[in-house]
């Protein structure tokens, strides 16, 4: 009798042990999606400021350049280019490629990425092109001023510090204007280039 009771106790303990192991196994399966891979972190959502910039500027554009007389173009001049702007991964940034001939040479190319810095409450960017020494440079910071997007950046030209104001304005469904002013100080800047972006029709070649 004691032997039978002992075997019964062992069976009960074994049964509870199996149930506990089964519960642990079920919990592990719930913690992992199909395929046995660990659960991924939730994806961040684009800031409203980034969504606004993409909505205003994304697309394929034909660009008309007009340069004022100055260090880059003593007699001024005109040129034409093509720009493509599109959302970066997850809509968290805006990316651009640009190609032109005329004001900045017969075969100018540039590319950049712009994003919203929520801590600094400004847009930031990086820009690379065929005229920038070293290839790439900080694109400064920008923010909305009413219905204009205004940016400031510093650079060097012939060993001297130059300040540049970048203004996007006159936003319409199929066009906007990009104006660049520069000078030796923020209070001594003059307009040196105006670029008018016109949206290309669907199917238009870049």
Query: So where are the chain's domains?
Result: 1-40, 48-199
Q: Return the number of other C-beta atoms located less than 10 Å from residue 84's C-beta.
A: 16
Q: What is the pLDDT of residue 4?
A: 34
Q: What is the pLDDT of residue 75?
A: 74
- First CA to last CA distance, the chain: 92
Q: What is the pLDDT of residue 145?
A: 96
Kindly report the pTM of this predicted structure. Answer: 0.76
Structure tokens at 72: 């880059």
CA dist 150 and 199 (Å) reads 21
Domain 48-199 -> CATH class: mainly beta
Q: What is the pLDDT of residue 196?
A: 98
Q: What is the pLDDT of residue 72?
A: 63
CA dist 39 and 186 (Å) reads 50
Helices of type H across the chain: 2-31, 48-57
Instruction: Average pLDDT across each block of 10 residues of the chain; the chain has 206 residues. List them in order.
Output: 38 40 48 56 92 97 92 79 97 97 90 97 96 90 96 82 94 97 91 96 67
Q: What is the pLDDT of residue 97?
A: 98
């Amino acid at each position: 009798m004691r032997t039978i009771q002992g075997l019964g106790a062992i069976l009960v303990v074994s049964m509870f042990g199996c149930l506990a192991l089964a519960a642990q196994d079920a919990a592990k399966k719930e913690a992992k999606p199909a395929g046995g891979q660990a659960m991924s972190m939730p994806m961040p959502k684009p800031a409203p400021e980034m969504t606004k910039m993409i909505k205003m500027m994304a697309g394929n554009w034909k660009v008309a350049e007009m340069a004022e007389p100055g260090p880059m173009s003593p007699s001024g001049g005109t040129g034409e280019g093509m720009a493509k702007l599109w959302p970066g991964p997850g809509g968290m940034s805006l990316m651009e490629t640009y190609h032109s001939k005329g004001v900045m040479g017969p075969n100018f190319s540039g590319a950049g990425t712009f994003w919203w810095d929520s801590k600094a409450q400004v847009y930031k960017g990086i820009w690379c092109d065929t005229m920038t020494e070293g290839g790439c440079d900080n694109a400064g910071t920008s923010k909305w001023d009413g219905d204009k997007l205004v940016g400031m950046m510093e650079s060097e030209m012939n060993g001297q510090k130059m300040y540049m104001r970048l203004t996007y304005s006159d936003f319409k469904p199929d066009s906007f204007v990009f104006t660049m002013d520069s000078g030796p100080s923020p209070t001594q800047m003059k307009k040196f280039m105006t670029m008018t972006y016109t949206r290309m029709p669907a199917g238009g070649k870049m």
